Structure 1
Amino acid sequence: MNTSVNVNVWHPPPASVFKLNFDAAIFSDLNSSGVGAMIRNEKGEVVAAILAKGPPVGDSEEAEILACRKVLEFAIDASFSELVNEGDNVNVMKSISSTGVNQSRLGHIIEDILSLAHGLRWVNVSAV
């Protein structure tokens, strides 16, 4: 019998680059959202982390985009300048890595994220 299982395995960033993994949550009963993130080095060691309460959101896409902006601000404030920014919502991460103008309802937040990322020395956006 041959069984295959998809397993997500953490991959380290390149040397001297840090990996920022984040996720968002929606707490409908509390009328809020939340964000959690870890920044790891090439050895997988956590060098910074954040948990924060967010505003009420309409859907998971909005929660993920707001979370991405929050954690990118956190990383910049903590003086990280070379990052792999990794989230789990493929559509959000594609929107952030797109070069075109985003005219969606959340486009203004995506523009904020791109502006923040522009201030980094090196950034790569990926989805898990």
Structure 2
Amino acid sequence: MYAEFQASQFAPEAQFRPSCHHKCCWKAPHPELVKINSDGAIFPNLNKAGIGVVIRDNKGLILASCSKKLPKAYSGEEIEALAAALALSFASDIGFSRAFLEGDLWTVYRALMGDDYSMASFGLLIKDAKFEAQKF
């Protein structure tokens, strides 16, 4: 598993810029739930993208995490929808059944919560994420 983690890391020349310029605070989920935070990053100069997932309990203790390197630079909506689907699949695979998912792109969140997404460029990715959400 460590080798897979090492292989998923980006080249040192990749530059990271914070997407959030305001103060962000983590908020605890209900004690019976775990909180799944997912995020995607795009590296257009490298034609790559990445996804990260962190699962925490209500005290903020990290219970599990994963990351994935993708060989294509997706759109913001696509990478966030992919991140949501991966996060839900990962959480289900390792045994969590009650969870709260949090991401940072409002259009993806609205699509996950509603039914009006099928014509969006990321509609099939939302469908995948909703399929994974049925496991909770």
* TM-score between both structures, scaled by the size of structure 1: 0.82
Aligned partner of 2:77 among 61, 78, 82: 61
Aligned position for 1:85: 101
The 10-residue stretch of structure 1 (100-109 or 44-53) with the greater mean CA deviation from structure 2: 100-109
Question: Judging changes above 3 Å, is the alpha-carbon distance between structure 1 residues 118 and 20 closer, same or farther for their aligned structure 2 residues?
Answer: same
Q: Match of 1:85, as an amino acid?
A: L
Q: How many pairs align?
A: 115
In the TM superposition, residue 29 of structure 1 has moved relative to its aligned partner by 2.7
The structural deviation recorded for 1:73 is 1.2
Alignment partner for residue 87 of structure 2, among 38, 53, 71? 71
User: Of the candidates 46, 55, 62, which is equivalent to residue 30 of structure 1?
Assistant: 46
For structure 2, list consecutive stretches of 5 or more residues without a partner in the other structure. 1-21
Q: C-alpha deviations, 1:5-28, integer Å up to 9, x for none?
A: x63221100012000011110122
CA contact (8 A) 2:78 2:125 kept: no
Larger strand proportion of the pair: 1
C-alpha RMSD of matched pairs (Å): 1.5
User: Relative to 1, partners in 2 of residues 1:39 and 1:58: Cα closer, same or farther, differing over 3 Å?
Assistant: closer
Letter in 2 for 1:57: A
Uncovered stretches (5+) of structure 1, i.e. residues with no partner: 1-5, 121-128
2:118 counterpart (70, 80, 102): 102
What TM-score, normalized by structure 2, do the two folds share? 0.77
In the alignment, is the contact (CA less than 8 A) between 2:38 and 2:53 conserved in 1? Answer: yes
Match of 1:13 in 2: 29
